[in-house]
Amino acid sequence: MAVRHKLIAREPSVLWAVLEDESRYADWVVGTLDSAPGSGRWPEVGSSIEYTVRVGPKEFHGHTTVRRLDAPHALELEAHGGPLGTARIAFDIRPWGDKTLVILDEHPLRGLGGSLHNTVVDAFAQIRHRSMLRRLAEVVEGLPQDTGRAKG
């Protein structure tokens, strides 16, 4: 299991504005070329997004489904990677003063990824997560200050 955390210099509502925008997925998910709405209304439970991932010269199409939603505290996704199987990706989102602590937990669920899961795979996931959380922080911290605040 690969668990990593990042302190982001914005309030949780700003982070949540990025997570609930399916068009921004490719901005922060490592290896993703593009994303598009799938079924349902993202990020409601059961909704999905579709995306293209490039590994070297090869492109693969996948989709991610929302399995648990507790906005703005938690988002759990199941990423479908075709022959690699599926993975659970969970975001635990905690206020930390005027910042946000994000805890990312990912592990394989089914298929080849689950069968081959070991500490070497987790080490590569840690490298990927470090980059993904850095990119997520750059997107969130680059938004205008009033993003994510309730309009009233």
The confidence score (pLDDT) of residue 65 equals 96
Indicate the pTM of the whole model. Answer: 0.84
The confidence score (pLDDT) of residue 149 equals 58
The confidence score (pLDDT) of residue 112 equals 64
The confidence score (pLDDT) of residue 151 equals 43
The per-residue pLDDT for range 47-71, each reduced to its tens digit, is 999 988 877 788 888 899 999 999 9
Helices (H), 7-99: 12-19, 25-28
Whether 37 is covered by a domain: the verdict is yes
Whether 148 is covered by a domain: the verdict is no
Whether 151 is covered by a domain: the verdict is no
Q: How many domains does the chain have?
A: 1
- CATH of residue 120's domain is 3.30.530.20
Range of the structural domain that residue 60 is part of: 2-141
Whether 86 is covered by a domain: the verdict is yes
Distance of alpha carbon 85 from alpha carbon 100, whole angstroms: 31
Distance of alpha carbon 16 from alpha carbon 21, whole angstroms: 9
Contact 26, 12 (CB under 8 A): no
The confidence score (pLDDT) of residue 152 equals 40
Ranges of the chain with pLDDT below 70: 1, 112-118, 120-123, 125, 148-152
Residue 118 neighbours by CB distance under 10 Å: 7
Whether 147 is covered by a domain: the verdict is no
Q: Which residues pair with 8 in a beta bridge?
A: 100
